[in-house]
Structure formats: C-alpha cells, structure tokens
Structure 1
C-alpha cells in the first residue's frame, strides 16, 4: 500500500493532503506541475499522485488506442498547461505562480529541445499528437510528478477520502489513499457498436492503421461528428475507399469556431454559469461537441468521396457481406443504410469511471445527487471547484464540467484555470480539516 505521507524534507510545503489523479494526461499534469510550483514557493499544496494504465500522454500515442500519433492537435499548443496564466490558487502570489508555470510551458519545452526557432519560422503549426505526448512527458519529468503505471480496478470512499486500487504490469495490486480524487480521460476506446469484423472501434481502427490493414472499401461510414471522428476520417481518406459517409445527428458537419469571440468563452469562463442553460448548450453544440477542427475541414474540402448522413444510429446488424445501420431522425421514419466498413468514432463513455466505483461509493454519489448518477445529474452537480457538489469526499470531474462551469474545462482550452480551481479547493478543504481537528 502506498502511504499517504508528506514528501521528503526540501520538497516544499505539501501540507494540503493528497490528491489522486486517474490519467496521466494534460489535466493531471497541469495540476501536478502547479502544485510543484506552489510547494517550491513555500505555499500549501497537495501531494499529487497520478495513476495511468499506459504512460504519460498515453492517449496521444498509439498505445492508448485513440490515435496513431501522427495526426495534428486540434488546439493551439500555446494553450499549454499554464494557459491562460491568469489568477492562481493563492491569489496574492499569482504573479509568482504563473511565472513558475512558464517553466513548464510549450515554449519552454521547445527551447529546451532547441526547436523553438524552427517552430516559429514554420508558422507555429499545431504539433502531431506524439509530439504533444513528448511535451507532457517532459513536464512530468521536469516537475518530478509522482506517477504509477497500472490499471485502476477499484475506487472506494474511505475515511473521508478515497482509496484507489490498481494492478501493475507484474500483476501486483497496489493502493493509494487520497483526500481528493481527480478523474480525467475518455475511458476505453475499444467498444464497437457491433461485434463484427466490419465494424471497428476507435482502438480497432488505429490498430489496423498501424498494421496497414485497413481493408479496401466501396462504401465506408464514420459514426460521429467530433474530433475523434475527424481524426479517423482524416486518416481514412488516405486509403482505398470509394465513398465515405459521416453519420451524425447534426444537420451538417460543423467547423469549430476559432474567432476571438468563441475562443474567449473557452479561455475565460467568468460569467458562464450566469448564462441561461439553453444558451450554454447552444454554445457547446456550436463550438465544441460534434464539430471538426478548421485544419481537418480544410483537408477534406476537396475530397468528393465524403458525404454527410444526418441521423442517430439506433440499430446495427450484419446483412450478408454488409453491415446495415438504422438511422433515426426526429419526426421521420427510420432508414437503413448498408456499408462494408464502419468506424464507430462516437468517442468514449462519459461515465466510464463509475464502473470502477464499488457499491458503497455509488450509493454515496447517489445521495449527493439525489438520484442515480447519469450524465445530466452529474453535469448539473459540478461546482465552481469542478467537484461534485454535496459529496463530502472531493471528486473532481473536469470532463463533465463544461455545461455548469465553462466549455474549456473538458478539453485543452484553459488548463491553467482548471488547475487553479482544483488546487484552491484542495488547499481550502485541507484548511477546513485542520481547523476541525484542533
């Protein structure tokens, strides 16, 4: 068992308990790096323990099952782990904390690898996924992040906090205790719509790409209208496919808004909770969910093999040598379409982490929500600190915070503000525990 002990002397002030983070991606590393900066300044900060099944930045590498690593990041890398470099968990020391976070910036990474000038001269392109993973790994190393590689098998509430059990590569089961739990990542990418060799999950698709085993197809379909589907489509057009249908419920394939006005909503969530619910949903729908990045849209514009089919897939079955998908639209009769290759790129299950919770933990969550946990109840429960309101044990769910707190939290648009809120909460909760114990 990994004890919940403070770090060795000289490691800074880690008097704000322990925060366990599932997933070694940008959200967890943004929190870990800022906690390191705070502790080095002598400020209270939690010990951050990160657990990941694969590696740092694993979901940006082929081994994570979400990409082959060769496609480009949909967000500017200048929106790095400290962006937008405004505010801080300790507001009086905000300038010092943000200056410290510049040491973990995208620019600092390029300078350290002597590639900054080249990146500027090439027009500051978005990096390939595998390069973004290298940046995250560099931050993890530079910050001394406490990382454990293993598959999380069980999460339970315990003694006012959390106990997370994970299995290492040698089969051993270890546990780590924490005062708070941060859940990141999209979960598994290996669950296809239909168990059929002609229907590929995201992981199946990228595995086939890496093995150069994408079959020639006369009529292919990509299900999904978001960035996961966009990356798959961007790859599929490079193969021998006669026609490709993009299936999504939207009337068309939307392009992500990249003007100042759209971007500012993502970078600065101030005032977001005061917007009417319908307007918040509309902003998310138009700019984040079910949209392709501008770069992918530009790549696909001239390819006349690509078409859009509006509808939600309500059924799938094998029919001879083809896969038949049933598409439904409100107010219309269901229609069947046949394909010889289907890529299910609808993305991960938002509530994948509930599979890890034991029965008692699910009960605690249900009591806090006042109903069985579902996407709607959890989205509405996320407070300013990105944690579930009403749950005594801090459960931070930034991937579900878009509706309640701002559309930038589930993605890479305001990682610095995300870390501010999580760390401020961890410090405040630790102070409250200490006051009660006196």
Structure 2
C-alpha cells in the first residue's frame, strides 16, 4: 500500500467530508487536483482518497490489461484534467480555481519536462498511452493525491456513507470510509466470450502482444466497434494475418465525428438534458460508442485484409481447429462464421462495480431506482451532479452519465466539468449535513 498525504491547504473548518474514489485514472485525478486547488484557496473541499489495484494510470499501461501502452490516445491531450476550464465548484472563485488547474494541465506537464516546444513543432500529436500515464502520475504527485494501492473486494453502506474494503499487495485487508463514493474505470479486461486458447480477451490479446505470441492466422476476427477494438485492430494488422473481420452490430465501421459541432456537445453539456431521448441516443451512437478515431481509420484505410461483418455475436463454439461465431441481425436469419483467431474487444461490463457491493448496498440502490439495478435504470437515474438520484449516500457514476447528462462525462472530453459537478455536490452535501453555510 502506498499513501501520499497532501499538504494541509485548509483548516479543518473548511473540510467537506471525505470522497472515496475507485480507480486512479483521469476522472479521479481531476477531482483530487481541483480539491487541492480549492483547499489551497481556503475554500471548502473534500478529502479525496483514491484506491486502485495498479496505482496511477494503470489502465494506460500494459499492466492494466487494456493496452500495450504504445498506441496513441484517441482524444487530444489538451482535453486534460482541467478542460474545458469553464465554470467552477464554487460560485465566486472561478478565475482562481481555473488558474490553479492550469498548473495541472498537459501544457504544464510538457513545460516541466522541457518537451513543450518539440510537441508544438511536431504538430501537437496525440501522445502514446504510456506518456498519458506519465502525465497522470505527474499530476497525482504534484497534487499530493492520497492513494491506496490495493484491489477493492467489497463496498458497504455505513452510517450514511460508504466503506471500501481492499486487499493490499502484501495480502492484508484494509478499508477507507467516506461520505461519497466515485466509481471510475472499465472494470476487468480478462473475460473472453469463450474459454478457448483461440479466443483472446482484451487483456489476453495485449499479453500475447507483449510476449510476441500472437499466432499466425488465416482468418482473424475482432469483435467490437469502439476504441478498444480499434486499438486491437491497429495492432493486429502489424502481425501475420491473412484476413481480419471486424464484427459489430452497426451497418459499417463509423469514424468518430471530430468537427466543431460534434466536439462542442462533448465539451459543453449545458443543453444536453433538454434533448429528446432518441436524439441523445443517436448522438452517442454516431460520435462515441461503436466508432473508431480518425487516426485509426486513416491507418487502416489502405489495408485490404480488413472487412466488416455486421451482427451481434450470440454464440461461440469450438469446431475442430476453428472457432464458430453465430451472428444475429434483426429481421435476418442467424449466420455462422469460422475463424482461427478471435479477439473479444467489446470492452468492459458497464455494471462491473455492482459485483463489489454487498447485499445491503444493492438493496439501497434498488430502493432508489425503484427496481433491480440494471443499465437502463441507472443511466436514467444519474443527476446533474453525476450521482444516482434518490440515494442518500452520494454515489457518483460518471461512466454511466452519458445519456442523462452529456456524452463527454464517460470519457476524457470534459474532465474539468466533471470535477466541478462532483466537488460542488460534495461541498453542498457536507454543508447540508453540518448545517454550515457556504
């Protein structure tokens, strides 16, 4: 277990409780950095405690199982921990807080490492994943983020708040309590659709890449149409494969929209909740879910080995030396296709964190939702503060906030607005508990 305790930036009188974050990625670090900025200004701010199995930025490194670290970030790095540098968790200190967050910006990171000029002269390229992880680690150290390295095993409701139990690297069991809980990250990447050596999970694929153990293949398939699949495909084309089928339910492989109009919806979610539900779903489908970044599409355009198969995989089985995948499409008969290598790159399970909740926590969540916790209920129950509405204990779920609050919250598109909403909520909830006035 590693713990960094921030320097005292404010007296106990300005404490706004404790926020526990699962996952030491950009969402948690944006909240931790801004809380530090607020505390340094003498403003109410929660103590932010982060728990992560691997440490800072693990999912951007090979050890996290989602990448080999050598592929490029799909989002501009200028959409950093403070972006879009608009608004504030506090009503009267926007300029000071945003100025403070510039100290944690991508540009500040490059200046600190004397690489800013080179990055500009090279045309502002998107960094490799491992470089993005270095940026996150730098920001964590600069903010003095309080970090516990351990594997979360159980989440419990306690006294109007949360208790997070985690297993430390030496095998011991530890816990941290908080008034609010922030859940980030995609969960596990090592669950393939079929337990078979010819079917690789995301983690299995990147492990094989690192060991240079990707087998030669005549017919390979990559299941998924999003950035996880795009990274796997971008790597697979560098290996000895005769043909690659990209399997997704969409009619084709879409390119993520990168014009001002698409980007502005991600950066500024102000009017998002007023859009009809069907239009919100359509925007997310066209610009975020099931799309490849422009850079990956450009890399793949000239490769004649790549083809698209439309359908949703409904079954998988081993047939001799091949794996047979059954594809279903609405209004059409199921079709079976055989491959000798399959990469299941459909991404993580959106509700992975529910496996950690004890029975009482699930019951509390069910009462708040008015039914069994499932994806449709949770997606529609995320309030403006990115927490589940109707739940007395603050449970912030930005990864599920895309439909209700804006498509930028599940990704890297508006980390500054994410931290604004979470911290404003934490401070307001603390004031309500203590009867203090802001």
Question: With structure 2 as the length reference, what TM-score do the two structures score?
Answer: 0.98
What residue in structure 1 maps to residue 344 of structure 2? Answer: 344
Distance 1:140 1:271 in 2: 32
Q: What are the Cα deviations for residues 4-57 of structure 1, in whole angstroms up to 9, with x where unaligned?
A: xx9775555651000000000000000000000000000000000000000200
User: Residue 188 of structure 1 corresponds to which residue in structure 2?
Assistant: 188
Look up the match of 1:200. Answer: 200
Shift of 1:220: 0.0
Q: In the alignment, is residue 21 of structure 1 matched against residue 33 of structure 2?
A: no
Tell whether 2:305 aligns with 1:314. no
Query: In the alignment, is residue 391 of structure 1 matched against residue 386 of structure 2?
Result: no
Question: For the Cα contact (< 8 Å) 2:9–2:39, is it kept in 1?
Answer: no
Check the 8 A contact 2:401/2:410 in 1, yes or no: yes
> 1:40, 1:12 → 2: CA distance?
10
CA contact (8 A) 1:24 1:52 kept: yes
1:253 aligns with 2:267: no
Q: 2 CA distance for matches of 1:371 and 1:215?
A: 46
Aligned partners of 1:183 and 1:38: how far apart in 2? 22
Following superposition of structure 1 onto structure 2, how do residues 213-228 of structure 1 map, counting pairs within 5 Å?
213-228=213-228
Asked if structure 2 preserves the Cα contact closer than 8 Å seen for 1:7 and 1:47, the reply is no
Report the Cα offset of residue 435 of structure 1.
1.2
Number of the residue aligned with 2:120: 120
Give the RMSD, CA atoms, in angstroms: 1.5
Query: Conserved in 2, the CA contact under 8 Å of 1:227 and 1:291?
Result: yes
Cα distance 1:116–1:17, how it changes in 2: closer, same or farther (>3 A)? same
> Residue 6 of structure 2 contacts residue 143 of structure 2 at CA under 8 Å; is this kept in 1?
no
Q: How does 1:47-58 map to 2 (within 5 A)?
A: 47-58=47-58
Q: Name the structure 1 match of 2:411.
A: 411
Distance 1:57 1:330 in 2: 39
In the TM superposition, what is the alpha-carbon distance from 1:182 to its structure 2 partner?
Answer: 0.0
Question: Which TM-score applies when normalising by structure 1?
Answer: 0.98
- Tell me if structure 1 keeps the 8 A contact 2:6–2:144: no
Which residue of structure 2 lines up, in the alignment, with residue 133 of structure 1?
133
What do the CA deviations read for 1:134-183 (whole angstroms, capped 9, x no partner)? 00000000000000000000001000000000000000100100000000
Alpha-carbon distance in structure 1 between the residues aligned to 2:392 and 2:33 = 26
Tell me the matched-pair count.
434
Q: Distance in 2 between matches of 1:253 and 1:7?
A: 45
Kindly indicate whether residue 165 of structure 2 is the aligned counterpart of residue 152 of structure 1: no
User: CA 1:12–1:118 in 2, change beyond 3 Å: closer, same or farther?
Assistant: farther
Corresponding residue of 2:73: 73
Distance 1:10 1:36 in 2: 7
Contact 1:186–1:347 (8 Å) recurs in 2: yes
Kept in 2, the 8 Å contact 1:316–1:326? The answer is yes
Offset from partner CA, 1:283-306 (integer Å, 9 cap, x none): 000000000000000000000000
Q: Is the 8 A contact 1:12 1:41 kept in 2?
A: no
**Equivalence map 1:81-100=2 (5 Å):** 81-100=81-100
Using the alignment, how far apart are the partners of 1:20 and 1:194 within structure 2? 35
Gaps of 5+ in 1: none
Quote the Cα distance in structure 1 between the aligned partners of 2:179 and 2:6. Answer: 15
Secondary structure of the structure 1 residue equivalent to 2:181: strand
Aligned residue in 2 for 1:243 = 243
Distance 1:105 1:193, change over 3 A: same
Residues 404/177 of structure 1: CA separation in 2 closer, same or farther (3 Å cut): same
Structure 2 SS opposite 1:261: helix
Q: C-alpha separation between the residues in 2 aligned to 1:220 and 1:431?
A: 56
Secondary structure of 2:107's match?
Answer: helix
Instruction: State the Cα distance separating 1:359 from its structure 2 match.
Output: 0.3
The 5-angstrom pairing of residues 30-49 of structure 1 reads 30-49=30-49
Aligned 8 A contact 1:12 1:40 in 2:
no
Would the alpha carbon gap of residues 12 and 273 (structure 1) be closer, same or farther in structure 2, given more than 3 Å must change? same
- Indicate the residue corresponding to 2:333 in structure 1: 333
Relative to 1, partners in 2 of residues 1:175 and 1:340: Cα closer, same or farther, differing over 3 Å?
same
CA distance in 1, matches of 2:196, 2:113: 45
Distance change in 2, residues 1:318/1:84 (3 Å): same
CA distance in 1, matches of 2:217, 2:261: 41
